[in-house]
Structure 1
Amino acid sequence: MPSSDAQAAAPRSIAFLSKSIAMDFLLPAYQAQFPGSRLLLGAELQALLDAGQHDDIEVAVCWHPPAAQLSQLTQGAGLQLVQSIAAGIDHIDTQALPASTPVCRIVDSTMGYGMTAFVSWAVIHRQRHMDRYVAHAAQRQWREESIVAPSRHRVGIAGLGTLGQGCAKALLAMGYQVRGWSRSAKQDLPAGLEGLQTFHGQAQKAEFLSGCDTLVCLLPLTDETQGFLDLALMRQLPRGAHLINVGRGAHLVEADLLTALAEGQIGAATLDTFSAEPLPAEHPFWQDERILVTPHIATRTDPRVIARQTAHNFSRIRAGQAAEVAVDLGRGY
């Protein structure tokens, strides 16, 4: 059933743009939300763009959109909203967009639950040596590894947005020592984070890193945070630290991780995002047993949530109001 937002204001046409995934998995949710709108993707969309017949495309739904297609859309008179299907917009070349075109991200509490579950699992998996138990079981070996209480294991979370706060709250509830770092100070943290030790800015980053047996990266990707996980940072962690990257692939300098592993500075890494996806079969990460690769599956947003938020954003724009989750392009989130 379409929401009241969709009934009040439906775009004439919606384009789905991606160079990395098939976007047709979104179509049932958008068909239900916008029964009167034309949904365009693939060859049909490209034919209209090439013919210059795209003035009725008012919404572009994007995940790594091809730059050429996005540029063609901006040359028409219809585009009113660019909707990311993710919590960030770093996959969109916003410089190609008119400043007047709102770019919106997804805010989804259920996505937070998925991320919290994944990060909690990743921390426990290494901290309790589950990787070793899997290997022992394959050899039919009854072998006990050292047991370290959560209260003696320090988890640092770089990025204290909604996702980072959710992960911190869950880990605190399990008894872990948790600290968080953000680029600017966080005020008025919600209930459940009373035990969280917070740091912010470059001046406090080294102190933060020195107390991270496990480091989780959940930062937004901006010009400032690209390459955040480099060798200099890794060398400020306790020796043998576990690195978890569930932010963006561009946060990690991949060659530096291999160097840090070779040095023993990093003991293990759990990586869910990569600079090139899918990760090429010849990539050295596949061959290193200290690196656990997962295919960008830490969390997902239900397509129905994406469609509903698109409807809400479009209805506000059509009514002359600001979209509630429009991104500050200067900050990148």
Structure 2
Amino acid sequence: MLTLLFADRIENWPAYEPALKAVLSEAGIAAQILLPPVDPASVDYIIYSPLGPVQDFTAYTNTKAVMNLWAGVERVVGNATLTQPLCRMVDEGLERGMIEWVTGHVLRAHLDIDFFLTHQDGLWHHQGHVPPLARDRSVVILGIGALGGACATTLAGLGFNVTGWSRTQKALPGVTCLSGPEGLRDALSKAEILITVLPNTRETTDLLNAETLALMPKGAVILNPGRGNLIDDDALLAALDAGQIAHATLDVFRVEPLPPEHPYWAHPKVTVTPHIAAETRPASAARVIAENIRRFEAGEEPLHLVERGRGY
């Protein structure tokens, strides 16, 4: 029988316990799921959250893999004690949540819904507020991996003119795919609505700064459900004040929860959402964990194995 250690916050255990036990049973995997403290040498797999009790992996000498419950691994990938294989979470629930958050806020910007919500004043504000058709709106997504790619193809399916950018060249149906530094400049220059779904790496830190924000069309909108480090906060605030950027909807931040004194809270051109775009849901996450355990036990290639050198 395998031993799994649930190393997330204890308050999450009541939601994960039935989901994990059900999918492990369906998969025919004989396993016991334990909560800390346990004998580290007895643990075969760790179901892990960076906010959980395990920060030092040294004693887990027989652990075959660490299953991260988050899509992001920046809080653990640099941990020098982690020598076991690390798998990040990419599952149907995360994907659907991201698609729905992105699609909702793209349509909100595209249709200028905020204008009408703030102009319920008895006047007929028609002139200048008829939106273009989706096919005439340029939407750019930075980061077209599993989550960003799903958003890109969904928006293309709604008729938007979608461009995706990634470090390496990719191909997606209905999406213009660009890569490299010149591709980034080209993508930003046409981004009426910009969505950032990039990982947190040295290369992506402050990717949106004073120089790159100036490349965008005046009055562009930014949606960031990716990582807080992607944006130079001071540069974005300056671009909002100058009218270069019309609005920013931000779901992720360098410090979370976002401190009450942060300028984003009070800025009239900023919408803050509390890191909800791609929340891990126990039912769908449990299926990925069970499948990965099955793959490890069968000697097959695991899902979403992190490449340490790339940071994701």
Runs of 4+ in 1 over 6 A off after TM superposition: none
Q: Does 2:42 align with 1:59?
A: no
Mapped to 2, the partners of 1:301 and 1:16 lie a distance apart of: 15
- 2:70 maps to 86
Given the two structures, how large is their TM-score scaled by the length of structure 2? 0.88
Residue identity matched to 1:262: D
Q: Does 2:160 align with 1:176?
A: yes
Q: Identify the match of residue 294 of structure 1 among 241, 265, 273.
A: 273
- 1:119 maps to 102
Equivalent pair of 2:93/2:285 in contact (CA under 8 Å): no
Which secondary structure does the structure 1 equivalent of 2:6 belong to? strand
Mapped to 2, the partners of 1:170 and 1:33 lie a distance apart of: 29
Given the two structures, how large is their TM-score scaled by the length of structure 1? 0.82
Question: Cα offset for 1:104?
Answer: 0.7
In structure 1, runs of 5+ residues without a counterpart are 1-9
- Distance change >3 Å, CA 117–CA 136, structure 1 → 2: same
Question: Cα offset for 1:314?
Answer: 2.2
Q: Does 2:34 align with 1:39?
A: yes
Equivalent pair of 2:77/2:311 in contact (CA under 8 Å): no
Which secondary structure does the structure 1 equivalent of 2:79 belong to? helix
- 1:331 maps to 310
- 2:125 maps to 143
Question: Cα offset for 1:281?
Answer: 1.6
Mapped to 2, the partners of 1:74 and 1:17 lie a distance apart of: 18
Question: Cα offset for 1:215?
Answer: 0.7
- Distance change >3 Å, CA 127–CA 177, structure 1 → 2: same
Q: Give CA-to-partner distance per residue, 1:82-117, whole Å, 9 cap, x none.
A: 111133322324432444x11112232343232222
| Structure 1 segment 226-237 matched on structure 2, within 5 A | 226-237=205-216
Q: Does 2:18 align with 1:23?
A: no
Deviates more, 1:27-36 or 1:84-93: 27-36
Question: Cα offset for 1:140?
Answer: 5.8
Q: Does 2:130 align with 1:130?
A: no
Mapped to 2, the partners of 1:224 and 1:233 lie a distance apart of: 14
Q: Give CA-to-partner distance per residue, 1:42-96, whole Å, 9 cap, x none.
A: xxx2xx37xxx32223322223246x8321x322323221111133322324432
- 2:249 maps to 270
Mapped to 2, the partners of 1:259 and 1:110 lie a distance apart of: 36
- Distance change >3 Å, CA 76–CA 261, structure 1 → 2: same
Mapped to 2, the partners of 1:22 and 1:272 lie a distance apart of: 23
Q: Identify the match of residue 105 of structure 1 among 63, 70, 88.
A: 88
Question: Cα offset for 1:199?
Answer: 1.3
Residue identity matched to 1:273: V
Question: Cα offset for 1:214?
Answer: 0.9
Deviates more, 1:108-117 or 1:224-233: 108-117
In structure 2, runs of 5+ residues without a counterpart are 26-30
- Distance change >3 Å, CA 178–CA 17, structure 1 → 2: same
Q: Give CA-to-partner distance per residue, 1:196-245, whole Å, 9 cap, x none.
A: 22211012211111111111101122221122222221111111210110
Cα RMSD between the aligned structures? 2.4
- 1:3 maps to none
Equivalent pair of 2:219/2:246 in contact (CA under 8 Å): yes
Mapped to 1, the partners of 2:199 and 2:257 lie a distance apart of: 21
- 1:6 maps to none
Question: Cα offset for 1:141?
Answer: 5.4
Residue identity matched to 1:314: I
- 2:55 maps to 70
